[in-house]
Each structure stands twice: as C-alpha cells, then as structure tokens.
Amino acid sequence: MVKKYLSLLLICLFAWPAMAGERKKVAVVLGGGGAKGVAHIGVLKVLEEAGVPIDIVAGTSMGAIVGGLYAIGYSPDEIKEMVEAQDWDMLLSDKVKRSHLLFPEKEKAERYIVSLPFGLEKKDRVIDGVVKGQNLQNLFSDLTIGYHDSVDFNLFQIPFACVAVDMVSGKDYIFHKGSLPLAMRASMAIPAVFTPVRLDSMVLVDGGLNNNYPVDVALAMGADIIIGVDLATSDLRTYDRLHSPGDIATQIIALHGYDKYARNCDRTDLLFRPDMEPYRSSSFAPAALDTMLHRGEAEARCRWNEIMALKRKIGLSDTDTFSIQARRLAHRPVLPADTFYVRHIRFDGADPRDLNWLHRICALKENSHITLKELRKSMSILVGTNAYAYVNYKLTGESQQDLVLTLQPKSESSVNLGIRFDSEEIIGVLVNATYHKGKRNHSRFAFTGRVGSKISSAMLDYSIERSPLRNFNLSYKFSYNNLDIYEKGDKRFNTTYTHHLAEFAYSDMNWLSFKVKAGLRYEYFNYNSFLYTGSDELYAVKPEGFFSYFASAHLETLDRRYFPNKGVSLEADYSLYTDNFVKYNGRSPFSAIGLKFMTVCPISSRLSLLPAFYGRVLIGGNTAYPFLNAIGGETFGRYLSQQLPFAGINHVEILDNSVVVARLQLRQRIAGNNYITLTGNYGIHNDDFFHLLEGRSLWGGSLGYAYNSIAGPLSATFGMSNRNSHLQFYMNLGFMF
C-alpha cells in the first residue's frame, strides 16, 4: 500500500505542471570553455536550491559533458565529486600505467624522444590530435552505463542535446540520439588537441567552432525560457589581449561564430557569466578547478533575486518547488564503483587470428561479474600492447550484458630517435626504424643505429611471431668500439676493435611483467689496437670467434624506468661459450652466470630506499678476454654487455672471475621532478667463487642531483671509491641507451 502511494505521489509531481498548463518550458544552456566549465556545476546547484524547473539541457564541449551527466540523473554534488576525484594529468593524456605495459613495450619505453609512425593502410589511419582521448572516452563510458547503445536523448530524465561540428561539411551536427559517451567526446574534441570522432561519413570536432553557446538548439527543442551559462570564451579579444599564437587561434574561432553567439546571447532570459580570470580553458589544477566551481555558485547566488523573478515569469511563485530529486528516484545512472554482469565479450576491429590472445591478455571472462576497475585495467593493457591507438567499450544488448571492446589498429611501424649527452661520451645518437607486417605473417624488420665517441653500431633484426609476443628472432649487429680500460682510477690501456654478433633466439613475452629468452649466438672480435700506458701487457688477445648458447629470464614490475616509486626487478642469465659448438680451445667450454635484483621500498610519499644486489660469475679455467667481468658507470651494460654499475667508479675496470655487489640508495624527491640520491655500494671479487669472501673488497658512494625532464633525466653526480684517489664527477642528459 505504501509503495502505491509513493508511486502516485511521484506521478503527480511529474504530471502536475503539465496538467496545470500554465508553466513555461525552461532550458538550461551550458557553453563551452574547457576547465572553466566546472562553473556550470555551481550554477546548477543554485538553480536546484531555488526550485527552478529544468525541462531541457543543451551544451557544447565541457557544457555537453556536465549537461549530459545532469540530464541522466547525476546531481551537481555528484558531478562535483567526480571532478575532484580525477587525475587530470592522466585523464587529459594517453598515458598507460607502466604496470599495464607488456614487456617489450617496457623495454622500448623511455628510450626515444621522438617516435613517428608510418605504414598503416589508408583505411585504418586515424586523424590524430595531440591527445587521442582514450582515457577521457572511457571515463565518459564509465559514467554513462546504460546509455552506450543508440538511445533517444529526448527520453532522458531531462531531454538533452549537444553540438559538434562535421569537418567534412562544415555544418553543425546536433546529437539528439546515439551513444551518449560518444556524443560528449565528439562535442569536446578540440581540433589538433584531441583526435576527432568518426561517425558514419562524418569527422566530428568540438562544437565550439561554430556554436559555443547553443541557445538556438534549446529553442528548437521547444524551450520558452532560456537560462544560460556563458564562460566568455567566445568574446572578441581586444588589442592588448592578443599576444600569443593561442590568443590568435582563439580569436579566429570567436570571429567565425560571433554572429550566432551574439544572437544566442540576445535570446537568453537569464545569463550567468562568472568571472574566470585569470584562469584558462587548460587550468585543470585542483585548486583552479575548485576556485572556478565556487565562482559559478557565487555568481548564481549573487543573482538570487533575478532567479526568483524568472520563476514568476515561468509561472511559479517564489515558494513553489520543483523536486528534481524526486525525479532522479525514477532512474539512477550506474555509478562507476558498481559491478556488472557480462554475458558475451566481442572485439571489434581485431585481427581474427588474435582473438584467443586478446581474450587471454584481457583476463575478462564471459558469463561472469566484472568491476569497472577490472575493465579499465584490461583496456589499459590492450593499449599498452602498442598494437592499438585506442580501446573503447560499450555495454549493449539485453540488460546491457554484452561487452563490446572497439579496437583502433595502430601502426607498429615507426621511426624513432634518441639523443643523450654525458661527460664520458659527450654525445650519443640512437636511430631506429621498425617495419611491421602484421596483417600477413606477423613479421617485423628493424634497423637500429647508434653513433657515439666510444661505441658506434648498426643492427638488423628480423622477427616472426608464431603468436603475439612469442617470436623467433634473427639479428646481426656490427659495432666499432674505442674503450679506455682503467685500474684503480688510472688508465691502463686503450683498445679499439670491431665486434660482429649474430643471434638466433626464441622469446616469450606473453606476460605483463615477465620475459624469457633462449638461443644461439656467434660473436667475432677483431682487435685493431691494444695500447698499454705501461710496459706490462696483461692480456694476450687475438681475433677470435665464439659460439654460445644462452638463456635469460626477467621479472620487472617497476612503475617507472627512472625514479620508480614501487616495484621489483629480478633478472637471471646464463651463457655457455665455445669455439666449435662443443669445446673452447680444445678443452671444456667456459660459462657465465649473472643475477640482478633491485626493489623500491617507499618510506614516505617523497622518500624511498632502493636496495640492490647483483653479480656475475665466470665458470671454467679457460676464460676468454672479451667476456671478463667489468665494473663502472651508473647503469648495467654501459659500454660492455657484462659491465656492472658501481657508484664512485665512472670508467671501465676489469675484475676477477667472480664479482658480487650490494648497493643501497636513499632517494628524496625535493620538489616536483627534482631528486637527491645518496648511494653506497660494497663489492667483493675473486677468481675462485668458493673463496669469494676471501677476495678483494670494493667500496664506494656517490651523491647526485637529478631532474626528470621530458627528454630524459638531467643528472649530476659526485662519487668516490677505494679504486680512485680523487673525486669522480659524472653528468648526463637524456635516456640511457
């Protein structure tokens, strides 16, 4: 009985204004303005408090986002909470968490400063912006579950429309139906900033190009009264406000649509224009958003008397209330924290040969309940494979139980450039060109060239993927090396030589954080010179070739390659060296075992402890010079593949057959991307592994400053060790390679 009375009450609340036949139809029009659009939330809150009925919502760009959410039942407070909860740096980018990258992408990440794709078939090409909008689109989908399919916007709790511009015809496109998240995304697709939305034969961009304040759209929907929020982004700038290229571009857009904008302003019954100075459309910092939101609310409260006067014009008294809250009870949107049931999963845009792999890599199961958190992670992983430009989703079918993941193919063929400067090598340049033939046989051909004062190299690499991320690889690398070898801080000799390396291997990288590799190598060393600074010649070397069998495994969960905040890296490798596949110099072959471990232990949000343990052991009494243990520098494999880092030693030093090092770093983030790092390390080396503790000791430390720039770390380090008699200095700018 109680339910019947409540239902009757709700029906009366909805039907009473229509039965009375006196009240005029009210539309709220929300203009575009980027970050400034949060002011809409404050105005809507005050209008609700004043009891103003809202029968239509129309918006452009940010106004389309706020208006769309409001129209399906979100309250101003809920939209405010959503705005405050976002990581806007992540949202307004196409960043993928490193933990969601597959292993090969982790290896390539943060190495090149420029990457240019090429080679995608014409029908698959996407008109890019600086931001593809992957993260934004999926947020809109999260917030509008139940409105992904083709729906009639007039059937929302409040009828809704938003504006985009078709770049093919140049005309406005008014969304009255379709997918709500797609409509919101199209309406805010600022040209050259966000990738346009392709719909049928249209290429849709931000509606603000033609109609940033769409009063005419609301009137066409039957509005009698217009309440508008204009953020002054369509105002013409005066002489003293035209300084930058951005100012000029904004002025051109404003001039283009100014006549329509002026007419729409004239047709507004109550126009709110909150003061947004000095903020801009790009002011997405939390403090700025909070200020602009409250300015919108303050503007509306200051004009309370005008709101009451408008209510009387509508046909209501000051005390009449219009319960929007009651209307929301009829149907609530699904909030992002909910779990939902998925009956079927479909991949649109995927190569049919990859479907099994896609299901496996997503880890989403059909006929099961999944959370939005799990879904977001799966889509992030798919983008992290680097095979797709973006991945979006929608829930369709009966009760929205069919999950459709739309994949936009991405060219894996690219040209990449890396540059770095340091006090050792002065300058190094890395160039890579990768051609991917994914649609025919999943093969990849790559050329990588490196130029530097100590090492210059060229490498050709060909891979055939039997299944995604499981491949057979054939490569050849030629390098010219000019290295100084030190002993206890003094230069002992210089060697110049060429190195030829041919490798056939199988790699399995079909996991987010784990890679295994095994194969066969042939290496040939040809020494051009071997110049000692003294009379003692320590090593008798000659041109020599080696066949080796190798295997390696690497687990890596670090959240960042440089300055990680959490995670672990564990790597083990083994190589067996021969000169005829069986023996070396007519005797038993020798081998090398390596182990590297590092983890991050956060002490606070800014202070971290980074312990590490690593070493390398040569087994056999017939060891060849090219594979002797080496130490020095800040990274593994700085000049020699077997080189181990050691704080306080900048140059390359040769050590005994068994080396173990323990390192401890204390890293403090002092402001923004600035870091101070204190490093201490201790090592032991001996020719006999079983008597390693009786070997010679190494100790050293360093103090360094680093800035994490977009071009790579800028760092300066001072160090000392028991192998040097003077202070060591090292400076670097750029990603390591």
Residue 19 resides in a domain:
no
Select the more confidently predicted residue: 239 or 151.
151
Domain co-membership, 164 together with 236: yes
Which pLDDT score, from 0 to 100, does residue 124 have? Answer: 47
Buried b (16+ CB within 10 A) or exposed e, 241-280: eeeeeeeeebbebbeebeebbeebbebbbbbbebebeebb
CB neighbours (10 Å) of residue 171? 11
Buried b (16+ CB within 10 A) or exposed e, 463-493: bebeebbebebebebeeebbbbbbbebeebb
Decide if pLDDT at 53 tops 80.
yes
Which pLDDT score, from 0 to 100, does residue 648 have? Answer: 95
Domain co-membership, 365 together with 454: no
Q: What's the CA gap between 97 and 84, in Å, rounded?
A: 21
Select the more confidently predicted residue: 721 or 444.
721
CB neighbours (10 Å) of residue 514? 15
Residue 20 resides in a domain:
no
Mean pLDDT taken over the chain:
87
Decide if pLDDT at 440 tops 70.
no
- Kindly report the CATH number assigned to the domain that includes residue 364: 3.10.20.310
The domain boundary residue, chosen from 389, 409, 429: 409
Domain co-membership, 673 together with 707: yes
The domain boundary residue, chosen from 386, 409, 432: 409
Decide if pLDDT at 572 tops 50.
yes
Domain co-membership, 451 together with 568: yes
Which pLDDT score, from 0 to 100, does residue 446 have? Answer: 94
**Three-state DSSP state, 706:** strand
Residue 112 resides in a domain:
no
The DSSP 8-state label assigned to residue 633 in this structure reads B
Residue 128: in which H helix or E strand, if any?
A: none
Decide if pLDDT at 270 tops 90.
yes
Which pLDDT score, from 0 to 100, does residue 96 have? Answer: 82
Residue 108 resides in a domain:
no
Which pLDDT score, from 0 to 100, does residue 251 have? Answer: 65
386 pLDDT tier (thresholds 50, 70, 90): confident
Residue 300 resides in a domain:
yes
Domain co-membership, 149 together with 40: yes
Which pLDDT score, from 0 to 100, does residue 377 have? Answer: 86
Q: Note down the domain range covering 291.
A: 26-94+133-327
Q: What's the CA gap between 285 and 30, in Å, rounded?
A: 22
Indicate the range of 111-115, 168-172, 316-320 predicted with least confidence: 316-320
Domain co-membership, 284 together with 386: no
Indicate the range of 44-58, 84-98, 251-265, 553-567 predicted with least confidence: 251-265
Buried b (16+ CB within 10 A) or exposed e, 423-435: ebeeebebbbebb
- Give the rounded percent of residues in the chain with a pLDDT score beyond 90: 57
Strands 177-178 and 270-272: unpaired
Whether the Cβ atoms of residue 386 and residue 406 lie closer than 8 Å to each other: no
Which pLDDT score, from 0 to 100, does residue 541 have? Answer: 83
**Three-state DSSP state, 378:** helix
Mean pLDDT, rounded, for 209-220: 93
Q: What are the residues whose beta carbons fall under 8 Å from the beta carbon of 204, sequence distance 6 or more?
A: 164, 165, 166, 167, 173, 186, 189, 196, 197, 198
252 pLDDT tier (thresholds 50, 70, 90): low
Domain co-membership, 37 together with 164: yes
**Three-state DSSP state, 657:** coil
**Residues recorded for the chain:** 737
Decide if pLDDT at 10 tops 90.
no
Which pLDDT score, from 0 to 100, does residue 302 have? Answer: 95
Please return the burial class of 639, using the count of CB atoms within 10 Å of its CB with bins 0-12, 13-18 and 19+: buried
The tens digit of pLDDT for each residue in 282-334 reads: 899 999 999 999 999 999 999 999 999 998 998 888 777 665 555 554 555 54
The tens digit of pLDDT for each residue in 484-509 reads: 999 888 888 899 999 999 999 999 87
Decide if pLDDT at 185 tops 60.
yes
Strands 56-60 and 26-30: parallel
Decide if pLDDT at 18 tops 50.
no
Domain co-membership, 391 together with 532: no
Per-residue HEC secondary structure of 410-459 comes to CCCCEEEEEEEEECCCEEEEEEEEEEEECCCCCEEEEEEEEEECCEEEEE
Residue 15 resides in a domain:
no
The tens digit of pLDDT for each residue in 608-620 reads: 999 999 999 999 9
Please name the amino acid found at residue 653. Answer: E
Q: What's the CA gap between 331 and 144, in Å, rounded?
A: 12
Mean pLDDT, rounded, for 519-542: 82
Q: What's the CA gap between 371 and 403, in Å, rounded?
A: 12
Which pLDDT score, from 0 to 100, does residue 362 have? Answer: 83
Which pLDDT score, from 0 to 100, does residue 16 have? Answer: 41
- Kindly report the CATH number assigned to the domain that includes residue 157: 3.40.1090.10
Q: Which residues are catalytic?
A: 61, 206
Whether the Cβ atoms of residue 25 and residue 296 lie closer than 8 Å to each other: no
Q: What's the CA gap between 525 and 527, in Å, rounded?
A: 6
Decide if pLDDT at 724 tops 80.
yes
The domain boundary residue, chosen from 271, 304, 327: 327
Residue 610: in which H helix or E strand, if any?
A: strand 607-619
Residue 90 resides in a domain:
yes
Domain co-membership, 70 together with 149: yes
Q: Which residue has the tokens 């035209």?
A: 242
248 pLDDT tier (thresholds 50, 70, 90): low
Mean pLDDT, rounded, for 32-57: 94
Q: What is the DSSP string of 9-44?
A: HHHHHHHHHHHH--PPPEEEEE---GGGGGHHHHHH
Whether the Cβ atoms of residue 680 and residue 664 lie closer than 8 Å to each other: yes
- Kindly report the CATH number assigned to the domain that includes residue 516: 2.40.160.50
Q: Which residue has the tokens 């430390």?
A: 701
126 pLDDT tier (thresholds 50, 70, 90): low
Mean pLDDT, rounded, for 452-471: 86
Indicate the range of 230-234, 265-269, 726-730 predicted with least confidence: 230-234
Domain co-membership, 319 together with 343: no
Nearest C-alpha neighbor of 457 from the set 440, 483, 484, 478? 478
Q: What's the CA gap between 147 and 332, in Å, rounded?
A: 12
Decide if pLDDT at 664 tops 50.
yes
Q: How many domains does the chain have?
A: 3
Domain co-membership, 247 together with 199: yes
Mean pLDDT, rounded, for 407-429: 88
Residue 208 resides in a domain:
yes
Mean pLDDT, rounded, for 400-429: 88
Q: If you average pLDDT over each of 313-327, 458-472, 558-572, which comes out highest?
A: 558-572
Mean pLDDT, rounded, for 401-414: 84
Whether the Cβ atoms of residue 355 and residue 347 lie closer than 8 Å to each other: yes
Would you put residue 70 in left (φ > 0), alpha (ψ -120 to 50) or beta?
A: alpha
Whether the Cβ atoms of residue 682 and residue 699 lie closer than 8 Å to each other: yes
The tens digit of pLDDT for each residue in 624-652 reads: 999 999 999 999 999 999 999 999 999 99
Decide if pLDDT at 340 tops 90.
no
2 pLDDT tier (thresholds 50, 70, 90): very low
Strands 455-467 and 443-452: antiparallel
Domain co-membership, 298 together with 232: yes
Enter the pTM of the model.
0.76
Nearest C-alpha neighbor of 405 from the set 148, 177, 54, 165? 148
234 pLDDT tier (thresholds 50, 70, 90): low
CB neighbours (10 Å) of residue 60? 34
